[in-house]
Amino acid sequence: MTLLGDVARWFADPAHYQGSDAVQTRLLEHAAVSGLAVLTGLLVALPIGLYLGHTGRFGFIAVNVANIGRAIPSLAAIALAIPIAGTLLGVQNGLGFWPTFLALIPLAIPPILTNAYVAVRGVDRDVIEAGRGMGLGEAAVLRVIELPLALPLILAGIRTAAVNVVATATLGALVAFGGLGRYIVDGLALQEYDRLFAGALLVALLAIAVEVAFGTFERAAVSPGIRVQQGAL
Amino acid sequence: MTSTRGATLEFRDVSKRYGGQLAVDQLSFKVPAGRICILVGPSGSGKTTSLKMVNRLIEPTAGSILIDGRDVLREEPTALRRRIGYVIQQVGLFPHQTIAENVGTVPRLLGWPKARIAARTEQLLALVGLEPSRFAGRYPAQLSGGERQRVGVARALAAEPPVMLMDEPFGAVDPIVRDRLQNEFLRIQRDQGTTVLFVTHDIDEAIKLGDRVAVMRGGKLVQYAPPGELLAHPVNAFVAEFVGSDRGLKRLALLTVGGMDLDTNVARAAVSPNAPILSPASTLREALIRMLASEAQVGVVLDGQRYLGLLTLSKIGKMIRSDA
């Protein structure tokens, strides 16, 4: 009970909305590194997943890459990213934003790649054959048929990636990055549990916001014809 | 409605080999413009493979396929396919597109202006018996199997193709709907004048719809003939068995009372009042059933009010014997 009250008081304190440790600053840092990591993962994984799904070849690559990506512990990935970022981008970049960003990318890729592959692969072969038979070229088959029909699963993959990344970006605080993890790590170190809980709550809220945003986007982007098919309309 | 003129379609020594297996073996036949040719045969006879070689979903190993004298192998496949209507059993409508969008697929690929696509879509939906204002905005999942199949036909006809390929298009609907779809298909085909290559394993469908029937077995063409000819003179035991032991009866369904030699020696007044009244347009099969059901065993043939003569069982028997 007292902890809840402390957390509420923490949020009510205007001092927590000022300076470099302000809630809005940390929130923005967290969202920025997460957003950029997901976007980068998307740019890498989506074209590969769509291509593999369309051709139906090298499916094992999609699945294995996904499994490797999932098997690496996030903390280890961040630790590994320190020397990598240092080497690639200069020693001054070996801590903070860059290792966090680099470590989050392999976390974003697997669900996007696997879902894109499985989704495109799973499109009804008869529909594709009908499309080809009517004179759609390969690019048109992907654009006009496979992509819209695979969209719900593809979006689900991106959403999973985004939620994972938002949750894991918390670890960035361990390598001197800001973000909401700052509150958790500092709260733990200083035994300020109100701060720790406030940080945890903010991360959870951000993750939920991502879920809700994707759900809204999916309803707008997915054809009602597919929802009719799934019996949701 | 402007009717499209169908193209001639010719297979010339067409073969398809998969490894050591010949799926289609030196297939040759011609379909005249605007006619329906049915490819029929048991599974594995090569009929679907033959059909898909026309729009090059499958490439022939040897031979040529000519549409209006032009070899399809010399054309760019996507351009070729846009000029050939294609209907498959599972229909393959795009579930994420409305009915109107589905029907407009090929016109969109061909870059027609929007207004022309909209007008054509409306015209086609009406043609296949789907009220445009009710159906245009719906999605395939909201339609029955028969309605979806009609949309499939409308979509295939959208860009007025001179040739249409149909792969067991009515195989997945129930018999009553199938019968209605077949009748509508015949009406539309006559109206549009499209040349049709149609695959089925159902000999009754082949006889009902075909102007020509190509019976295939093991990749080879066994017999190519109009349905009446196929029923009257099967070339071998395989065809005879395939068309069925009741081929005589099936044939009666293709012949009309008007084409028969009638008995004109009996005055109408002398005929039993139980005798059924037949019109020259009714089929011999229908006439036979009504004659057998009545005690008279003869039928009175009237063209409107005009008495043409009597149809007797022995006349029907004589017709069957003369051909068999």
Q: Give the number of beta-carbon pairs within 8 Å between A and B.
A: 83
Instruction: Please tell me the number of Cα atoms within 13 Å of B130 on its side-chain side.
Output: 28
CATH number of residue B195's parent domain:
3.40.50.300
Whether residue B13 lies inside any domain: the answer is yes
For residues B195 and B144, state if they share a domain: yes
Q: In the prediction, which pLDDT does B1 show?
A: 41
**Residue B86 distance to chain A (closest CA, Å):** 6
Q: In the prediction, which pLDDT does B2 show?
A: 43
Interface test with B, best of A134, A227, A233 (most B CBs within 10 A): A134
Q: Letter for the amino acid at A57? A: R
CA distances to A133, B180, B210 from B283, in Å:
38, 18, 17
CATH number of residue B297's parent domain:
3.10.580.10
The pLDDT confidence band at residue B33, using thresholds 50, 70 and 90, is very high
Of B186, B179, B221, which Cα lies nearest the Cα of B202?
Answer: B179
Residue A152: enclosing H or E segment and its boundaries? helix A147-168
For residues B28 and B59, state if they share a domain: yes
Inter-chain touch B109–A140, beta carbons under 8 Å: yes
Whether residue B105 lies inside any domain: the answer is yes
Inter-chain touch B88–A149, beta carbons under 8 Å: no
Whether residue B47 lies inside any domain: the answer is yes
For residues B215 and B303, state if they share a domain: no
Buried b or exposed e, range B238-273, using 16+ CB within 10 angstroms = bbeebbeeebbebbbbbbbbeebebeeeeeeeeeee
Q: In the prediction, which pLDDT does B4 show?
A: 53
What's the burial of A67, exposed, middle or buried (CB within 10 Å: 0-12/13-18/19+)?
Answer: exposed
Whether residue B3 lies inside any domain: the answer is no
For residues B172 and B90, state if they share a domain: yes
Q: Are A182 and A21 in contact (CB under 8 A)?
A: yes
For residues B183 and B285, state if they share a domain: no
Q: In the prediction, which pLDDT does A1 show?
A: 57
Q: Are B219 and B53 in contact (CB under 8 A)?
A: no
Query: Which one of B213, B245, B277 terminates a domain?
Result: B245
For residues B87 and B228, state if they share a domain: yes
Residue B295, domain extent: 257-321
Whether residue B4 lies inside any domain: the answer is no
Q: What is the value of pTM for the model shown?
A: 0.82
Nearest chain A residue to B84, by CA: A134
Give, to the nearest 10 degrees, the angle between helix A23-55 and helix A193-221. Answer: 40
Instruction: Give B87-145 pLDDT, tens digit per residue.
Output: 998 888 999 999 999 999 999 999 999 999 999 999 999 988 899 999 999 999 999 98
For residues B262 and B234, state if they share a domain: no
Query: Which one of B211, B245, B279 terminates a domain?
Result: B245
Higher pLDDT, B312 or B322: B312
Q: In the prediction, which pLDDT does A229 show?
A: 58
Query: Which one of B210, B245, B280 terminates a domain?
Result: B245
For residues B264 and B155, state if they share a domain: no
User: How far is C-alpha B288 from the geometric centre of its chain's CA atoms?
Assistant: 25
Q: What angle do CA A150, A154, A158 make, to 5 degrees?
A: 170
Buried b or exposed e, range B310-324, using 16+ CB within 10 angstroms = bbbeebbeebeeeee
For residues B195 and B104, state if they share a domain: yes
**How many percent of chain B have pLDDT more than 70?**
98
Number of Cβ within 10 Å of residue A218's Cβ equals 17
Q: In the structure encoding, which two tokens stand for residue A123, read together?
A: 């499109």
Instruction: Give B180-238 pLDDT, tens digit per residue.
Output: 889 999 999 998 899 999 999 999 999 999 999 999 999 999 999 999 899 888 999 99
Whether residue B251 lies inside any domain: the answer is no
Q: What is the third-level CATH fold of A2-232?
A: MetI-like fold (1.10.3720)
Site of tokens 């009220």: B131
Inter-chain touch B88–A145, beta carbons under 8 Å: no
Whether residue B2 lies inside any domain: the answer is no
Question: How many domains does one find in chain B?
Answer: 2
For residues B69 and B91, state if they share a domain: yes
Nearest chain A residue to B137, by CA: A225
For residues B106 and B225, state if they share a domain: yes
Alpha helices, H only, A2-73: 2-12, 23-55, 59-71
For residues B275 and B223, state if they share a domain: no
pLDDT over threshold 60, residue A79: yes
Q: What angle do CA A126, A128, A134 make, to 5 degrees?
A: 100
CA–CA separation, A85 and A97 (whole Å): 10
Whether residue B141 lies inside any domain: the answer is yes
What's the burial of B209, exposed, middle or buried (CB within 10 Å: 0-12/13-18/19+)?
Answer: buried
